[in-house]
Amino acid sequence: MAEMRYREALNLALREEMARDPNVFLMGEDVGVFNGAFKVTEGLLEEFGEDRVRDTPISENTIVGIGLGAAMSGLRPVVELMTINFSLLALDQIINHMAPIHYMFGGQAKAPMVVRMPQGAGHQLAATHSHSFEAFYLHVPGLLVATPSTPADAKGLLKAAIRDDNPVIFIEHETLYGIKGEVPEDPGFVVPFGQAAVRREGTDVTLIGISRMAVTAMQAAEQLAERGVSAEVIDPRTLRPLDLDTILRSVEKTNHVVVVEEGWPHGGVGANFTALIQEQAFDFLDAPVQRVSGADVPMPYSRPLEQAAFPHAENVVAAALATLDTGDRV
């Protein structure tokens, strides 16, 4: 094990997979000479050359379309988009082509490609650079969706994504790039899709955090422990496929649930999780599922307003106490 930053873990995953499989190559805006907008691809151009680390023009629809063609031809492209907001410019290629291509060709064609993109608020980049759109891609059959929250998962899930024969939407959070954690150095280390992580055991309430909100949920769990509340923290890690069994086992144990996401509340991941839990674990619930989400507004530029527009630990604590009806512990 080695301690490294989230961005370094992603870089290591790319380096290992490019060394392992000559069909893996990178493409995107500034991934080569500039080492990536968030320095995830640092040093890879020098190591693997221009044929396998390709800077592209500013045209997301074109980038994803070229990647799809390469994938259908037998290569394994890893496409980087500078921010998830810009992926909206490539929705035709992602939703109408990349996702259904295996089905539309009757299994004769496949799209083993990864589209990496950062998302999330906290850097005062305003509404066109700061939103969380995992719910957009969760909605689309044919796509796999990963949302790693730790350096180890960033490495392990990215390696699994590159090796998968399905198209993968790989969502990174901008504020996580600098966090440190223990990461296995074994090149064979892979985190399988569809296996949630129980970040903390608990008995009173289940906190389910998506992407950076898994970290926020852990902070909330620590604050709840100071109030005598035992919170279990579940990090789904992948949204498609979803490890619903781990979530339901936790609900059966705690009987109370709070779902925490940074995206908007209407039609979000939290709404989907809440429906699944109440459909399949209703008899185990002692209270309605609580949802903590980003504010239903375009992301503000003003720092105080931006901070108010996405969840913090105190918001999760308040939701947990509300579902437990434990006003005496406040």
pLDDT tens-digit readout, 192-220: 999 999 999 999 999 999 999 999 999 99
CB-based contact 181:231 (threshold 8 Å): no
Tell me, yes or no, if 60 is annotated catalytic.
Answer: yes
Q: Look up residue 70 and give its two tokens.
A: 């390469």
**Any idea which of 13-17, 106-110, 238-242 has the lowest mean pLDDT?**
106-110
Q: Is residue 129 flagged as an active site residue?
A: yes
Which CATH number belongs to the domain containing residue 238 in this structure?
3.40.50.920
Tell me, yes or no, whether 163 and 300 share the same domain: no
| Domain shared by 160 and 206, yes or no | no
Residue 89 above 60 pLDDT?
yes
Catalytic residue among 97, 102, 129, 173: 129
Residue 96's pLDDT is: 97
Model confidence at 330, in pLDDT bands (50, 70, 90)? very low
| Domain co-membership, 149 together with 228 | no
| Same domain? 55 vs 133 | yes
In a domain, 305, yes or no: yes
Residue 229: closest CA among 259, 254, 266 = 254
Out of 60, 80, 172, 174, which one is annotated catalytic?
Answer: 60
User: Which of these three, 140, 156, 183, is where a domain ends?
Assistant: 183
With a cut of 60, say whether residue 13 has pLDDT above it: yes
Q: What is the pLDDT of residue 256?
A: 97
Q: Report the number of distinct structural domains present in the chain.
A: 2
Instruction: Answer whether residue 190 is part of any domain.
Output: no
pLDDT tens-digit profile of 137-156? 999 999 999 999 999 999 99
What separation in angstroms does the CA of 324 have from each of 24, 218, 248, 250, 285? 49, 18, 18, 15, 11
Q: Do the strands 144-146 and 257-260 form a parallel or antiparallel pair, or are they unpaired?
A: unpaired
Find the mean pLDDT for residues 52-62.
96
CA dihedral of residues 109, 78, 12, 131 (deg, nearest 10): -120
Same domain, 25 and 137: yes
- Residue 59 domain-assigned (yes or no): yes
| CB-based contact 238:191 (threshold 8 Å) | no
24 close to 18: Cβ distance less than 8 angstroms: yes
DSSP-derived 3-state class of residue 252: helix
Residue 188, domain member (yes or no):
no
Six token digits for residue 138: 């969760």
Host domain of residue 210: 197-329
Written as one string, the DSSP assignment of 85-119 is GGGGGGHIIIIIIITTHHHHTTTS-----EEEEEE
The owner of tokens 């037998």 is 74
Closest CA to 171 of 58, 104, 293, 83: 83
**Percent with pLDDT over 90 in the chain:** 96
How high does pLDDT run on average in the chain? 95
- Residue-level pLDDT at 329: 44
131 with 55, same domain: the answer is: yes
Q: Are residues 165 and 104 in the same domain?
A: yes
Q: Are residues 145 and 224 in the same domain?
A: no
Tell me if 12 is assigned to some domain: yes
What's the whole-number mean pLDDT along residues 113-117? 98
Q: Are 307 and 297 in contact (CB under 8 A)?
A: no
- Kindly state whether residue 210 falls inside one of the protein's structural domains: yes
Residue 123 scores a pLDDT above 90? no
Same domain, residue pair 7 and 156:
yes
39 and 176 part of one domain:
yes
Q: Buried (b) or exposed (e) across 254-268, using 16+ Cβ within 10 A?
A: bbbbbbbbbbbeeeb
Is the pLDDT at 88 greater than 90? The verdict is yes
Q: Which pLDDT value is given to residue 326? A: 54
Q: Which among 153, 183, 213 is the end of a domain?
A: 183
CA distance 73 to 111: 9
Give buried/exposed letters for 101-110 (b at 16+ CB in 10 A, else e): bbeeeeeeeb
Cβ atoms of 112 and 149 within 8 Å: the answer is no
Residue 327: band (very low, low, confident or very high) from pLDDT cuts 50, 70, 90 = very low
Name the domain boundary from 183, 207, 237.
183
The share of the chain scoring above pLDDT 70, in percent, equals 98
325 — pLDDT class (breaks 50, 70, 90): confident
CATH code for position 61:
3.40.50.970
User: Is residue 189 assigned to a domain?
Assistant: no
Over residues 175-192, the mean pLDDT reads 96
For 206-243, letters b (16+ CB in 10 Å) and e give: bbbbbbbbbbbbbbbbeebeeeebebbbbbbbbbbebb
Determine the Cα–Cα distance for residues 28 and 59; give it in Å rounded to an integer: 9
pTM reported for the whole predicted model: 0.95
Give yes or no: residues 16 and 164 share one domain: yes
Task: Looking at the structure, tell me whether residues 171 and 217 fall in a common domain.
Answer: no
Q: Give tens-digit pLDDT for 274-323.
A: 999 999 999 999 999 999 999 999 999 999 999 999 999 999 999 999 99
**Cα torsion angle, 137, 139, 141, 147, sign:** positive
